[in-house]
Structure 1
Amino acid sequence: MPEASPPQAPRHAPRHRSLHLRLALCLVAAAVAAISIHMTLTLWPVPQLMASLGHEALAPWSGAALALTGLLILPIAWGLASLLLMPLTRLLRALESTVLSYRDGEFGSAIAADPPGGLTELASLMRLHSELGQALREQRRHLAQRELLLDTVVQNTPVALVLTDAQERIAYANIAARQLLDQGRSLAGRALDEVLAESSQDMREAILGAQDGLFSVTLEGQEERFHLSMRDFRLQGQPHRLRLLRRMTRELSRQEVASWKRVIRVISHELNNSLAPISSLAHSGAELSRRGQHERVPGVFASIGDRARHLHQFLSGYASFAKLPAPVLAAVEWAPFVESLGAHYPLVIAGELPAVPGRFDAAQMAQALINLLKNAHESGSAPEGVSLTVSAAREDWRIEIGDRGPGMTETQLSQALLPFYSTKRSGSGLGLALAREIAEAHGGRIAMGNREGGGLWVAISWPRS
């Protein structure tokens, strides 16, 4: 609907008198009334009436005459002051009413136009107040439209959004969050830990944790991977935390296909780079033998051997990733195991090592952790900034490697576990992917995120039983 246009001013608007004119008229009226009363008391007819009654008349400038004149002028002055202040009093009451309405969020109240003969100053004030009310109504209308648009976008986004207050009670959750956490039921006002009571342990640990990262859950019989990011801020002066859970399964599948295409290109390129020189050297060796230059043939064979060894090392790295055997679980003491890792790369042990032995494939787990330690040292972190933490939760073992390098962006975090993805120019992209394979072979998972104060953490967890 088109908005109603503001009322037009009448062609012949009533003429307003200014406050100064009214005050001057009131003072003149009060002076005239005082003189009239004084003359009535001292000149006529009160002196004649008092003389007829045998009483002495009041002298014009006697104290009694002046006092009586002042006493009689008081009601008149009070009436004139009330008449002068009547428009002000009416306006103040109207302003008080509209201010109370503004406090309650109602901007539809308006002050009635001043009747003819009102004050010029008050007419201008009421006009400005009316314009203020109109501006506030327009702003509220635009704000309501923007809030409706924002709520529509947030409610229909595929990213699950959960906003909690300082007591971790849910203040807001969109449709995707309600579907993910409680089958579409309302979450507002409920405690987050109560909502997550029926969720999987991986989801519960990730959401209730304090760091961004990736985690996996099983939904409707299929494994789904999510990326969790958290942000803390103040809303209406109170601390709040916003959690965003983005489903990454399809994106990761697309990235995996792209990664396989990339590795095929890499292997083809490496094979061509090795086979072409080998073919050329073999032809050169045959020509040297035909010409009888046998003293140069051993050098040709040595070059062919070097290229073959390089190709074997290149392919064995990919073969170890593609043919990971099933882990052989056994009890492992933590102290000698961690000490063997320190022999490869320096590390700082954070906290105490568990007294209870762990149960895992020591060779495979060492291979995964050595890759993580290698990445930590190559991140640019100082050696003393590389730490290792072993913790024993109620149901899981957890080993975390931390560094003080530059960390990763959210895009890098979402792709870091993909095979053949690397942030390093000369990296193969197999270290984290192999660690993920080893963790999942043990029935566990790998998670990673940025550390507070800078750096990256990567954690492998698996069941204790």
Structure 2
Amino acid sequence: MIAIAIIGITASAFATVLLSQWLQPWAAALLSAGGIAIVIATMIWRSLVPMRALFRALAGTVASYRDGDFSFGITWDKASDLIELVDAHNALGNALRDQRLALVQRELLLDTMVQNTPVAMVLIDPNQRVVLGNLAARRMLGEGRRMEGRAFADVLSNAESALRDAFERGGDGMFTIGSEDDEDIYHLSRRSFRLNGRLHELVLLRQLTAELRRQEVQTWKKVIRVISHELNNSLAPIASLAHSGAELLRRGQPERLPEALATIEERARHLEGFIRDYARFAKLPAPRYAPVVWQRFIAQLRAQVEFTDVLQPADGIGRFDAAQLEQALINLLKNAHESGSRAEDVSLSVRQLPDAWRIEVLDRGSGMNDAVLANALLPFYSTKRHGTGLGLALAREIAEAHGGRIALLNRDGGGLCVAIVLPATH
């Protein structure tokens, strides 16, 4: 048994030695291949780590650019083809940063101009809330406080009644704030546009008082020229015909005197009417208030000029100087017919407000450009070749003499609206 065991152990050892000699070349090969793979994997890992860091840096700067931060750059000191990508990326960042700086500077300049312009500017969003109100708008509408975020209706609720009326009429127009001795004249402009795909409205309120004062000086100079021209056109032929009449008498030809005298009379009456019109404007008497049934008053107007009418309420009774208001409205209705509007598009609207009567003369003519709109209410300002420029100015005088006001605005779709607001009681 011991011998058998010894033989078994010897055989096993011999087999083990033979097997190890047979496997040794293969193990060496396997060990050598594994070492090379480990070396290659280590080299690849070492080369990929910086590139992964670069890609993370690129992703981070792109995210910063997306958020509007262009202050980041990338440093890459590896000698590889990726340096071109890094340089291009840094150049893009520098370009975006320069453009952002220029844009910020332009925005600061624009904001400075908007805030310090004397024109009141209010930007309103689709929900009728104030997005922007410059300093002039704050002084005029916001009692000096910021208006951003407030409902525009709330802002208007504390404004002058004339301003609220101008907004209620819609469109562009002029209105007056203050008393006759201390009044300010404003022009309202409203424009709609899309901002970021949403409809916004820009409101501009421009004070015209100083400009109109300068225009009045120029207007009075024009008045002097007009009166001088008219007087010369009438007095020169009168003097010439009077001299001719004297010559006819001296020559014993009295049969030609009636013709000369008729011409003298015609020129004298023309001059008389010219002076009378100007005197009527210059010396408008104080209104004589009396109750007036609107239906009867409108019927008297229609007997003199054609128009359609809207009266609310139908049985309304006003209190005003019927002769003066008739004169003002006839001038306005005739202007409406001369605007190029069709006769059926000329209309008169009379509506009762809580404490006033609102009278509107409407047409579908060519309307007025900004220059004419700014000067139309001035005495003697006219765009007509032979116009006296007294129609609108006289209507303004009559409205203000009644404690009311007048405004002009272009209508949507073309045409003009002349609105007179008269107090309901006196």
Category of TM-score, reference length = shorter chain: 0.7 to 0.9
- Of the candidates 390, 395, 403, which is equivalent to residue 350 of structure 2? 390
- Of the candidates 119, 140, 150, which is equivalent to residue 110 of structure 2? 150
Q: Which amino acid aligns with 2:307?
A: L
Whole-angstrom distance in 2 between the partners of 1:397 and 1:49: 127
Who is 1:139 aligned against?
99
Once the two structures are superposed, residues 219-238 of structure 1 have per-residue CA deviations (whole angstroms, 9 ceiling, x without a partner) of 9x821111111111122222
Q: Compared with structure 1, are the counterparts of its residues 94 and 426 closer, same or farther at alpha carbon in structure 2 (3 Å cutoff)?
A: same
Who is 1:433 aligned against?
393
SS at match of 2:150: coil
Deviates more, 1:395-404 or 1:337-346: 337-346
Whole-angstrom distance in 2 between the partners of 1:95 and 1:237: 32
Once the two structures are superposed, residues 201-233 of structure 1 have per-residue CA deviations (whole angstroms, 9 ceiling, x without a partner) of 1122224552111111129x8211111111111
Who is 1:116 aligned against?
78
Once the two structures are superposed, residues 310-341 of structure 1 have per-residue CA deviations (whole angstroms, 9 ceiling, x without a partner) of 11121122122112221222222222322332
Q: Compared with structure 1, are the counterparts of its residues 438 and 188 closer, same or farther at alpha carbon in structure 2 (3 Å cutoff)?
A: same
Who is 1:5 aligned against?
none
TM-score by length of 2: 0.87
Who is 2:64 aligned against?
101
Who is 1:202 aligned against?
162
Q: Compared with structure 1, are the counterparts of its residues 84 and 387 closer, same or farther at alpha carbon in structure 2 (3 Å cutoff)?
A: farther
Q: Which amino acid aligns with 2:371?
A: T
Q: Which amino acid aligns with 2:422?
A: W
Q: How many residues of Structure 1 are paired with residues of Structure 2 in the alignment?
A: 407
Once the two structures are superposed, residues 374-422 of structure 1 have per-residue CA deviations (whole angstroms, 9 ceiling, x without a partner) of 1111111111222222222222211111111111111110001001111
Whole-angstrom distance in 2 between the partners of 1:78 and 1:205: 83
SS at match of 1:172: strand
Q: CA deviation at 1:75?
A: 8.8
- Of the candidates 194, 212, 222, which is equivalent to residue 234 of structure 1? 194
Whole-angstrom distance in 2 between the partners of 1:240 and 1:409: 24
Q: Which amino acid aligns with 1:252?
A: L
Whole-angstrom distance in 1 between the partners of 2:39 and 2:337: 96
SS at match of 1:398: strand
Once the two structures are superposed, residues 290-319 of structure 1 have per-residue CA deviations (whole angstroms, 9 ceiling, x without a partner) of 222222222221111111111112112212
Q: Compared with structure 1, are the counterparts of its residues 338 and 51 closer, same or farther at alpha carbon in structure 2 (3 Å cutoff)?
A: farther
Identical aligned residues as a percent: 55
Whole-angstrom distance in 2 between the partners of 1:434 and 1:282: 36
- Of the candidates 352, 355, 362, which is equivalent to residue 402 of structure 1? 362
SS at match of 1:215: strand
Q: Which amino acid aligns with 1:101?
A: S
Gaps of 5+ in 2: 1-15, 27-33
Q: CA deviation at 1:436?
A: 0.5
TM-score by length of 1: 0.80
Alpha carbons 2:312, 2:352 under 8 Å: kept: no
Is 1:259 the counterpart of 2:219 in the alignment?
yes
Equivalent runs, 1:43-192 vs 2, <5 Å = 51-52=19-20, 86-113=49-76, 115-117=77-79, 119-120=80-81, 122-192=82-152
Q: Which amino acid aligns with 1:251?
A: E
Q: Which amino acid aligns with 2:141?
A: L
Whole-angstrom distance in 2 between the partners of 1:50 and 1:259: 130
Q: Compared with structure 1, are the counterparts of its residues 111 and 302 closer, same or farther at alpha carbon in structure 2 (3 Å cutoff)?
A: same
Once the two structures are superposed, residues 351-396 of structure 1 have per-residue CA deviations (whole angstroms, 9 ceiling, x without a partner) of 7554322222222112111111111111111112222222222222
Whole-angstrom distance in 2 between the partners of 1:202 and 1:276: 48
Who is 1:346 aligned against?
306
Who is 2:260 aligned against?
300
Whole-angstrom distance in 2 between the partners of 1:361 and 1:355: 19
Whole-angstrom distance in 2 between the partners of 1:363 and 1:77: 110
Alpha carbons 1:354, 1:392 under 8 Å: kept: no
Alpha carbons 2:313, 2:352 under 8 Å: kept: no
- Of the candidates 229, 232, 245, which is equivalent to residue 269 of structure 1? 229
Who is 2:8 aligned against?
none
Q: Which amino acid aligns with 1:452?
A: D
Whole-angstrom distance in 1 between the partners of 2:18 and 2:237: 145
Q: Compared with structure 1, are the counterparts of its residues 49 and 212 closer, same or farther at alpha carbon in structure 2 (3 Å cutoff)?
A: farther
* Runs of 4+ more than 6 Å apart: 71-81
Alpha carbons 1:159, 1:176 under 8 Å: kept: yes
Q: Which amino acid aligns with 2:83?
A: A
Who is 2:182 aligned against?
222
Q: Which amino acid aligns with 1:317?
A: D
Gaps of 5+ in 1: 1-47, 59-70
Alpha carbons 2:403, 2:422 under 8 Å: kept: yes
Deviates more, 1:192-201 or 1:142-151: 192-201
Alpha carbons 1:331, 1:357 under 8 Å: kept: yes
Whole-angstrom distance in 2 between the partners of 1:50 and 1:284: 162
Alpha carbons 2:301, 2:330 under 8 Å: kept: yes
